[in-house]
A and B are shown apart, each in its own frame.
Chain A
Amino acid sequence: MDFNDIQNAWNNEKTDNVVVPDNLEKIQSANMPLDKIRKNLRTELFGQILALIIIGFLPLYHEFPSKFVGPYYFIYGIVAAISIYYLSKLFLFYKRLDKAALTTKDSLYETYYDIRLNMQLYKTFTFALAPFFMIYLAGYLIFGTPGSTEILNGNFENEKLVLKVVIFMITMLLIGVLTEWWVSFYYGKYAKEIKKVIDELKE
């Protein structure tokens, strides 16, 4: 066999029995990197909405200090606004480009940067919410544990204060590390795969 044989076999390959779908509505894109990301995001969106609803009802809990209901909902409003802003950005950007008809190099670069942009947007979203999560955690540590409100009056034991600060720091670091891992695990693999193909194109 040589390349002429391959060419002949290629030209003579029978493709008459290939069936083209007769209804385009039945076909749905599901195996492209951005479609996969969109699917992942959709699942996360439901989680986000559920979490927002649950934390919205938290002040109804009978031990919640009534004087903090106002500030709580103030912070809640900011969290909801940030969530809506980022989630709408994450979803809208998929529709911004038609990449398939570009040259392969441009198409790959567009897809790669879209994924990287999406990853950065996702990280910023999480980091934007992190301080509010820490405020909720501080609220819980101060008001949810017996005798801890004394800390507000300046009456505290150094050991207990150090413990709370350490919990704070570890939580903050965990948020950072887990976000990086989550983004890299769920979205980074697509970016890596495309980067590998881009590298193949280099001279």
Chain B
Amino acid sequence: MKEKEQEFLKRIESHKGILYKVSKMYMDNHDDQQDLFQEIVCQLWKSYDSFRNESQFSTWMYRVAVNTAIVFLKKEKRKVDKYEIASENIKDDEGDSHIKESQIDHFYKAVQKLEKIDKAIIFYQLEGFSHKEIGENLGISEGNARVKLNRAKEKLKEIIKNQGYGF
């Protein structure tokens, strides 16, 4: 294997969690998530030459991953196998890790109902980006990013409530 390819795969390996989370935010079933994950890796590899070491690999990767996820097209005629999480399955007396798991599942289920740009904004927020950085990545002003983030959070809150989960 070529040295460049090896170096690239090593970098992807250490950031695979981010790619996995982007895929889960944008696609609602396992097969589509897998396809999107591979597509992001493919687009990252295709754009790898444009990556300059002056910016952090992860910063560049976030942008390519989100841009790919936004325009990614699902495979047609695939049997949709959406994961369903019934609210009655959530039990308060379960262990802490199980609660966290339920919370993240509910979050992913709710986030599916957001528009594509709202998903990107929520994603950047969860990854610790400031309003300025969110704006820079999306190509919008800091103020617009702030307004959109607040709106996206409100929408998400409503969706989670409507799913029967207390917020």
Q: In the complex the two chains form, is A103's CB within 8 Å of B137's CB?
A: yes
Q: In the complex the two chains form, is A1's CB within 8 Å of B42's CB?
A: no
A100 to chain B, nearest CB (A): 5
A–B complex contacts, Cβ < 8 Å, 26 sampled: A1-B106, A1-B167, A3-B153, A6-B126, A8-B100, A9-B107, A13-B17, A13-B21, A28-B42, A31-B35, A32-B71, A99-B67, A101-B64, A101-B67, A104-B63, A104-B67, A104-B117, A104-B138, A107-B71, A108-B67, A190-B73, A193-B71, A200-B115, A200-B117, A203-B140, A203-B144
Residue numbers in A under 8 Å from B68 (CB-CB): 32, 100
Residue numbers in B under 8 Å from A27 (CB-CB): 38, 41-42, 45
Chain A residues within 8 Å of B, Cβ to Cβ:
1-3, 5-10, 12-13, 15, 18, 20-24, 27-33, 36, 98-108, 111, 190, 193-194, 197, 200-201, 203
Which residue from B39, B166, B167 sits with its C-beta under 8 Å from A31?
Answer: B39
B82 to chain A, nearest CB (A): 18
Known: A21-B41, A24-B5, A30-B39; 5 extra A-B contacts, CB below 8 A, are A6-B107, A22-B9, A31-B74, A32-B68, A105-B140
Give the distance in Å from the alpha carbon of A189 to the alpha carbon of B166 in the complex. Answer: 38
Q: A29-B42, A33-B73 are in contact. Are A9 and B67 (CB under 8 A)?
A: no
Report which residue of A2, A36, A103 has the largest number of chain B beta carbons within 10 angstroms of its beta carbon.
A103
Residue numbers in A under 8 Å from B12 (CB-CB): 20
Q: In the complex the two chains form, is B9's CB within 8 Å of A24's CB?
A: yes
B72-113, CB under 8 A of A: which get 1 and which 0? 111100000000000000000000010011011011000000
Which residue from B21, B44, B97 sits with its C-beta under 8 Å from A10?
Answer: B21
Residue numbers in A under 8 Å from B39 (CB-CB): 29-32
Residue numbers in B under 8 Å from A193 (CB-CB): 71, 73
Give the distance in Å from the alpha carbon of A9 to the alpha carbon of B120 in the complex. Answer: 18
Q: In the complex the two chains form, is A102's CB within 8 Å of B42's CB?
A: no
Question: Please, which residue of chain B has its CB at the minimum distance from the CB of A7?
Answer: B126
Give the distance in Å from the alpha carbon of A98 to the alpha carbon of B47 in the complex. Answer: 7
A200 to chain B, nearest CB (A): 4
List the 6 closest A-B pairs by CB distance, nearest first: A105-B139, A103-B139, A15-B17, A9-B104, A200-B117, A9-B103
